[in-house]
Amino acid sequence: MSETDLSKYEKKIIIRNIQIEDIDEIIELGKVCFPNMEPWKREQLVSHIRIFPEGQFCVEYEDKIVGSCSSLIVNFEEYDDQHTWDVITDNGYITNHDPNGNNLYGIEVMVDPGYRRMKLGARLYEARKELAVRLNLQSIIIGGRIPNYHKHKNEMTAREYVAAVEKHSIYDPVLSFQLLQGFTIKRINTRYLPDDKASASMATLMEWNNVDYRPKNKRIYRTSFPVRICAVQYMMKKIDSFQDFNRQIEYYVDVAADFGSDFVVFPEIFTTQLLSFLEEKRPDQAVRRLATYTNQYIDLFTEFAVRYNINIIGGSHFVEENGDIYNVGFLFRRDGTIEKQSKLHITPNEKKWWGISEGNEIHVFDTDCGKIAIQISYDIEFPELARIAVDKGANIIFVPFCTEDRQGYLRVRYCAQARAIENQVYTCIAGTVGNLTHVENVDIQYAQSGIFSPSDFEFARDGIVGECDANIDTVVVGDVDLEKLRRSRNSGSLRQLRDRRRDLYRIEWNRID
């Protein structure tokens, strides 16, 4: 028997870099893979090959291109976590590719539907991982589609959908696959790809970390990291319904969004305005009735944060938990996620009139504009809390407050400015003005809201980024620069964070949160 020629039975799968002659096939592949989305333009793919040829891969099977993927290198820290596909790809041309960057960013993966049981997608992802290791890149980042979300969007939020996919209670052909490839979810981008109707324009921001990464000696600096803050000086006045409250809140959120703000900050316990129509005379019972509006309050601010694409520091609100009442500050991120921080130090009036309980944990929250903390009114007057927050990475401390006289206001203001200097951190205070004449213990208000910086040459004169006129219904808008803050901590005139005598003293937190 003659020897069988096995080569004629072979069906080779080849992973290789894309060439100019492949472009027409890849454009047609895109039309098949994503029939309801705009395919690549020839000039975009030419740009990919010209700028970063080793980052463009295709799968060739039986002389046919059945899969492809595109990528570029970026310094991801220079981009907003809520970036869009157009921003991260420079409208698909990747002219923002940075060969000195730290992160490989994947911008497209396509597999012909007729070949999707051959693990071609996994092979393309492996090619990317090998490239990241070879180029000593810190990670691979992707904006992943959630194409089955349109089937569930009327019954759950994108965040709930992603959680369900993670628990394997819902299958998503893209997200489920990416999780199997070792990617972890960082957050949800709400307006990633406008023409991706199946994903409701959303995407999961995901990352795979290169365990073989060796840090580079040269530090990559950005020129600036501006964050815009709008602090609301909120007018307390009689209203007749929750709908009136809704309209007043939306007005301020709309104003802040029109200014292009990243954060809008409301005051402490400004929701006591609802008591003007609840007609409960006993203060201790009034706050418990107020706490029954917690779900409506959370729904309202979550909706506005997502709709107006702005992070909201929702002031604070009285919340009942296990029979106790807490004064709780909320962060409503623009991706729809929510965090909370209870007030740790309760004033004598809060104990006497309302019976408020103390919180026991201090948190620092990740946002698309860096790490932040919330310290409600009296808490900013205890310097240990700000130091702990900054040691945990906070760059901005938001201080919702409510004070009835100038002395109380000045305690909050002076302490916020002191914390900014001591910790080389930005602080922002937002207070209530006006009056609720017939609500016990919420009768008069005094405030002058403001945004403060450390005191050094690179920051605003007098350490005041911006401030409202006192006791009027208004807002203050100001920009703070997180890169300037980082540089000041390393090379400012004084370096309070570095120069602490840790050999002599330290602050210990007695609880683990």
CATH of the domain at 250: 3.60.110.10
H/E segment holding residue 372: strand 370-374
Q: Please state the domain count of the chain.
A: 2
Q: Does residue 350 fall inside a structural domain?
A: yes
Residue that the structure tokens 């006993």 belong to:
282
Report the alpha-carbon distance of residue 335 to residue 333 in Å, rounded. 5
pLDDT value at residue 513: 44
Question: What CA–CA distance (Å, rounded) separates 130 from 14?
Answer: 15
Task: Give alpha helix (H) positions in 350-480.
Answer: 383-391, 406-423
In a domain? residue 354: yes
CB 265 within 8 A of CB 398: yes
Q: Taking a C-beta distance cutoff of 8 angstroms, is the pair 468, 272 a contact?
A: no
Quick check: helix, strand or coil at residue 93?
A: coil
In terms of C-beta density within 10 A (0-12 exposed, 13-18 middle, 19 or more buried), how is residue 183 classed?
A: buried
Distance, CA of 251 to CA of 237 (rounded, Å): 15
Q: State the CATH number of the domain containing residue 142.
A: 3.40.630.30
Task: Answer for the pair 316, 291: CB distance below 8 angstroms, yes or no.
Answer: no
Is 238 found in the same domain as 148? no
Cβ–Cβ under 8 Å, residues 105 and 141 = yes
Give the per-residue pLDDT at 3. 63
Q: Are residues 327 and 458 in the same domain?
A: yes
Residue ranges making up the domain that contains 74 = 11-209
Rounded-to-integer distance, Cα 488 and Cα 460, Å: 13
Task: Mark residue 423 as left, alpha or beta (left: phi above 0; alpha: psi -120 to 50; beta: remaining).
Answer: alpha
* 8 A C-beta contact, residue 232 and residue 264: yes
* 193 lies in the same domain as 320: no
Same domain, residue pair 245 and 371: yes
Angle, to 10 degrees, between the axis of helix 406-423 and the axis of helix 383-391?
Answer: 40
Q: What is the pLDDT of residue 511?
A: 60
CA-closest candidate to residue 470, choices 452, 453, 451, 446: 446
Q: Are residues 294 and 424 in the same domain?
A: yes
For the packed helices 42-51 and 23-33, what is the interaxial angle rounded to 10 degrees?
120
Q: Is residue 151 part of a domain?
A: yes
Q: Are residues 83 and 196 in the same domain?
A: yes
Q: Of the candidates 158, 150, 128, 153, which has an alpha carbon nearest to the alpha carbon of residue 140?
A: 128
Measured between its terminal Cα atoms, the distance across the chain in Å is 75
Q: How many residues comprise the chain?
A: 513
Overall pTM surpassing 0.95 (yes/no): no
Query: Is 391 part of a structural domain of the chain?
Result: yes
Residues 45 and 77 in one domain: yes
Q: 10 Å Cβ neighbour count for 499?
A: 8
pLDDT tens digit at each of 513 positions of the chain: 456 554 554 557 899 999 999 999 999 999 999 888 888 999 999 989 988 999 999 999 888 999 999 999 998 887 877 888 988 998 898 888 888 889 999 999 999 999 877 889 999 999 999 999 999 999 999 998 999 999 999 999 999 999 999 999 999 999 999 999 999 999 999 888 888 889 999 999 999 999 999 987 555 556 688 999 999 999 999 999 999 999 999 999 999 999 999 999 999 999 999 998 887 778 889 899 999 999 999 999 999 999 999 999 999 999 999 999 999 999 999 999 999 999 999 999 999 989 999 999 999 999 999 999 999 999 999 999 999 999 888 999 999 999 999 999 999 999 999 999 999 999 999 999 998 887 777 778 999 999 999 999 989 889 999 999 999 999 999 999 998 998 888 678 888 877 777 667 778 777 644
CB 198 within 8 A of CB 177: no
508 assigned to some structural domain: no
Half-sphere exposure for 492 (CA within 13 Å, toward CB):
24
Instruction: Tell me what pLDDT residue 491 has.
Output: 75
Same domain? 160 vs 262: no
Which three-class secondary structure state does DSSP give residue 122?
Answer: helix
E strands along 237-323, which residues? 263-265, 311-321
